């Protein structure tokens, strides 16, 4: 028997199946989709078996497979086919497309062993009539007899020697059962009565399976309840479901809601889980012990059979696109590919759908569903815009008088406040007032961010950090100042303004430890804190009944990013965070501080007018030839020698111009962060409508440079950001 093995190394030069001889003793265990260990040159590598054949080549002496890593199939037929489709769409190596689907414990050459955990139980066997038992042994027998089956850790205050003697004499039978690290318990069946609008949406989807839907529902319209009703329907038909959420911070709340409805039928997959927890969840899913998978982007690869529906919540989020490393896939595209395989529906949901999705729905490519009203019948919160150009003349900090007064009134009523500042750290950067020196990362072309709690300057791209000193390293004057604003700085200001109230800061720094997202959300929900200050992780999906005021410290942060999506991202972020206010019986209020009060993205946010924003932004996109009117492809050209990389980038552009006459080719231009980790980066951007020749030409460029260690070519189709 001959096995075709794809080895673990992600390199274009060896991106193919290699043939190995299967030793006779392994033939009965050999199956397509399992991992094996093979010799490769002078190395021993792991790989996936993709082919099995009895046709042995006559002209080549094949080496033997060394061993089988798994007895169970890791990549089933669907995932094997899916990996090839992702490779075709992203031009990545095939092994990288398979590796991205799997938890660390199941990747080829995962680098660490994740053990399966077991619980030890004891049950009573027949007791010989003539045996003499000690008092300790009799005590153990009575305990096991009373319970039938006893967990080892329940046997407290007993002699281990007595226990071992009973096992040796076969009086106690020892049994081991696998113990999953994540446990779900059905607390109570929580099912809410659907509104007429919600019921109409559910009926449309379940009566017309195999379609793709865009559900445009305002914040608080009950999209999650609609999702659960659809899933419940397919569960009764014996079908499985996938629910994607964009942020890890949303997963605990979503998991808790689904657990109250579906108990241990759910499984969660997201990056906050440990390697062991991910391994357990994956095995539960592949064994058919979980029917509903909830999680972030990677959950789209869950090894479910017989999928009835795939739901992508907050579909506008750019976190569904993997930017780095390769493969640069979109979980939304993968959802559609899996729906074709399973003949099932896909529902994309959002209060602020991406322009591309809404354009397809308007053209009838997808079916448009609508939830225009909140479930409680309340109006969306009143939004007030504060012009900070005028306000800064009156104040010294970052809070307008209007916002300070509103926070005070809210707290007096024993209600809660959410404040958004989309920047972590204490300040944006540290600069010298005397000579203008600014602390920059030595590895990246970007300023370092000051973190006051650790008194360090840190690069948020490569992780470089250094201590802050009192004097300027350039002019040696004691004249350093913190410019810009971060969450730590705003938290400090808040404490001075409201010293008697409890403030909870939620950003990357405070939530990096395992389980902190969930603990913080639960603490704020229980009103252990009065004010929740955070980055964009507080803007989406969170549901707190006592929050009546939302404040945006600076709405212009995302507007000033040099990206064609900056207006769309700003409108989406502001609309989403505004939707956290007034979600229950109490009226909601939103205050947005901005230096651009007349910008259309902010004006349409004030009016809760998604369609107005959509139509205005579509006119701009059409004039500038951006999506959804054109597709985009970003060719990233990088290396350590800046001049060499620029020269090669120019050659690539000229080659593209010769072969793609109908494509708009921009660049090469420096990336927005020109140097990252001591690597210089240029972009060549393509705008196109016809891709019939594009993939072949780009593949030839990759092929041309694949053996050149001085240059790296990365292709990103429909990039979420132009970094």
The domain that holds 99 is classified in CATH as 3.40.1440.60
User: Given 621, 651, 685, which residue is the final one in a domain?
Assistant: 621
Asked, for residue 51, whether it belongs to a domain, the answer is yes
| The pLDDT value given to residue 483 | 53
Say whether both 53 and 162 belong to one domain: no
Say whether both 478 and 505 belong to one domain: no
Q: How many CB atoms lie within 10 A of CB 641?
A: 12
Asked, for residue 185, whether it belongs to a domain, the answer is no
Say whether both 130 and 86 belong to one domain: no
Contact 415, 548 (CB under 8 A): yes
Question: What would the pLDDT profile of 338-380 be if each residue is shown by its tens digit?
Answer: 999 999 999 999 999 999 999 999 999 999 999 999 988 888 9
What is the number of structural domains in the chain? 6
Asked, for residue 584, whether it belongs to a domain, the answer is yes
Overall average pLDDT of the 705-714 stretch: 94
Asked, for residue 409, whether it belongs to a domain, the answer is yes
User: Given 85, 106, 127, which residue is the final one in a domain?
Assistant: 106
Contact 427, 482 (CB under 8 A): yes
Q: Check: pTM over 0.85? Answer yes or no.
A: yes
- Residue 343 tokens read as 């003949």
pLDDT above 80: residue 528 = yes
Say whether both 459 and 494 belong to one domain: no
Say whether both 665 and 605 belong to one domain: no
Say whether both 355 and 243 belong to one domain: yes
Asked, for residue 87, whether it belongs to a domain, the answer is yes
Question: What would the pLDDT profile of 156-173 be if each residue is shown by its tens digit?
Answer: 888 888 888 998 989 899
Say whether both 613 and 647 belong to one domain: no
Say whether both 98 and 202 belong to one domain: no
Say whether both 350 and 301 belong to one domain: yes
Say whether both 513 and 586 belong to one domain: yes
Asked, for residue 722, whether it belongs to a domain, the answer is no
Domain of 678?
631-717
Asked, for residue 190, whether it belongs to a domain, the answer is no
User: Given 434, 461, 485, which residue is the final one in a domain?
Assistant: 485
Asked if omega into 628 is within 30° of 0 (cis), the reply is yes
**255 three-class SS:** helix
Determine the Cα–Cα distance for residues 243 and 222; give it in Å rounded to an integer: 15
Q: Considering only CA atoms, which of 368, 444, 430, 255 is closest in space to residue 610? A: 368
CATH at residue 710: 3.30.70.600
Say whether both 439 and 508 belong to one domain: no
Asked, for residue 723, whether it belongs to a domain, the answer is no
CATH at residue 246: 3.40.50.300
Question: What would the pLDDT profile of 543-567 be if each residue is shown by its tens digit?
Answer: 888 999 999 998 888 887 778 899 9
| The pLDDT value given to residue 427 | 45
Question: What would the pLDDT profile of 440-497 be if each residue is shown by its tens digit?
Answer: 888 877 778 777 667 788 887 778 888 877 788 888 888 776 655 667 888 889 999 9
Say whether both 211 and 323 belong to one domain: yes
DSSP 1: -
């Amino acid at each position: 028997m001959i096995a075709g093995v794809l080895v673990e190394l992600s390199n274009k030069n060896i991106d193919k199946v290699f043939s190995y001889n299967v030793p006779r003793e392994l033939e009965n265990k050999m199956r397509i989709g399992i991992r094996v260990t093979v010799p490769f040159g002078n190395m021993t590598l792991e790989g996936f078996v993709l082919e099995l054949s009895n046709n042995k080549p006559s002209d080549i002496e094949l080496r033997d497979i060394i061993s089988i890593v798994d007895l169970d199939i890791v990549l089933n037929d669907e995932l094997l086919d899916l990996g090839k489709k992702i490779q075709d769409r992203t031009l990545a190596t095939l092994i990288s497309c398979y590796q991205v689907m799997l938890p660390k414990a199941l990747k080829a050459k995962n680098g660490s062993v994740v053990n399966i955990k077991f619980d030890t139980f004891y049950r009573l066997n027949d007791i010989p009539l003539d045996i003499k038992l000690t008092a300790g042994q009799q005590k153990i027998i009575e305990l096991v007899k009373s319970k039938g089956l006893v967990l080892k850790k329940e046997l407290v205050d007993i002699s281990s020697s007595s226990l071992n003697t009973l096992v040796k004499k076969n009086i106690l039978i020892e049994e081991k059962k696998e113990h999953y690290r994540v446990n779900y318990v059905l607390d109570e069946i929580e099912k809410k009565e659907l509104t007429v609008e919600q019921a109409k949406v559910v009926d449309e989807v379940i009566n017309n399976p195999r379609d793709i839907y865009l559900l445009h529902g305002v914040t608080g319209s009950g999209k999650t309840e609609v999702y659960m009703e659809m899933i419940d329907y397919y569960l009764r038909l014996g079908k499985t479901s996938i629910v994607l959420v964009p942020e890890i911070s949303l997963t605990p709340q979503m998991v808790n809601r689904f657990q109250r409805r579906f108990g241990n039928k759910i499984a969660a997959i997201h990056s906050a889980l440990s390697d062991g927890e991910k391994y357990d969840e994956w095995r539960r899913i592949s064994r058919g012990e979980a029917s509903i998978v909830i999680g972030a982007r990677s959950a789209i690869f869950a090894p479910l059979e017989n999928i009835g529906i795939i739901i992508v919540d907050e579909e506008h989020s750019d976190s569904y696109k993997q930017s780095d490393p390769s493969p640069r896939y979109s979980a939304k595209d993968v959802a559609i590919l899996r729906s074709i395989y399973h003949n099932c529906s896909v529902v994309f949901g959002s209060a602020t759908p991406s322009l591309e999705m809404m354009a397809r729905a308007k053209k009838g490519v997808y079916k448009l569903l609508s939830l225009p009203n909140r479930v409680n019948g309340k109006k969306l919160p009143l939004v007030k815009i504060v012009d900070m150009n005028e306000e800064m003349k009156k104040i010294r900090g970052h809070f307008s008088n209007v916002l300070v007064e509103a926070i005070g009134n809210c707290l007096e009523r024993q209600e809660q406040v959410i404040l958004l500042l989309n920047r972590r750290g204490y300040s944006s950067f540290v600069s010298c007032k005397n000579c203008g020196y600014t602390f920059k990362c030595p590895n990246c072309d970007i300023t370092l961010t000051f973190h006051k709690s650790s008194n360090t300057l840190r690069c948020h791209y490569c992780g470089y950090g250094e201590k802050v000193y009192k004097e300027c390293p350039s002019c040696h004057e004691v004249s350093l100042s913190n410019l810009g604003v971060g969450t730590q700085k705003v938290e400090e200001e808040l404490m001075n303004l409201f010293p008697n109230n409890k403030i909870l800061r939620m950003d990357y720094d405070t939530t990096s430890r395992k389980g902190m997202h969930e603990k913080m959300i639960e603490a704020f929900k229980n009103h252990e804190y009065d004010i929740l200050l955070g980055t964009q992780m507080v803007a989406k999906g969170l549901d707190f009944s006592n929050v009546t005021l939302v404040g945006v410290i600076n709405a212009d942060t995302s507007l000033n990013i040099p990206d064609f999506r900056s207006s769309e991202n700003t409108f989406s972020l502001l609309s989403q965070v505004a939707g956290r206010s007034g979600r229950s019986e109490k009226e909601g209020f939103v205050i947005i501080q901005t230096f651009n009060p007349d910008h259309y993205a902010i004006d349409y946010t004030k009016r809760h007018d998604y369609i107005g924003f959509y139509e205005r932004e579509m006119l701009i996109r059409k004039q500038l030839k951006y999506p959804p009117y054109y597709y985009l492809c970003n060719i990233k050209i990088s290396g350590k020698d800046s001049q060499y990389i620029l020269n090669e980038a120019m050659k690539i552009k000229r080659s593209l111009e010769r072969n793609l006459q109908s494509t708009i080719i921009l660049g090469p231009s420096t990336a927005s962060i020109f140097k990252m980790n001591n690597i210089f980066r240029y972009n060549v951007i393509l705008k196109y409508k016809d891709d019939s020749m594009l993939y072949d030409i780009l593949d030839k460029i990759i092929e041309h440079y694949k053996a050149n260690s001085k240059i790296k070519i990365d292709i990103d189709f429909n990039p979420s950001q132009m970094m």
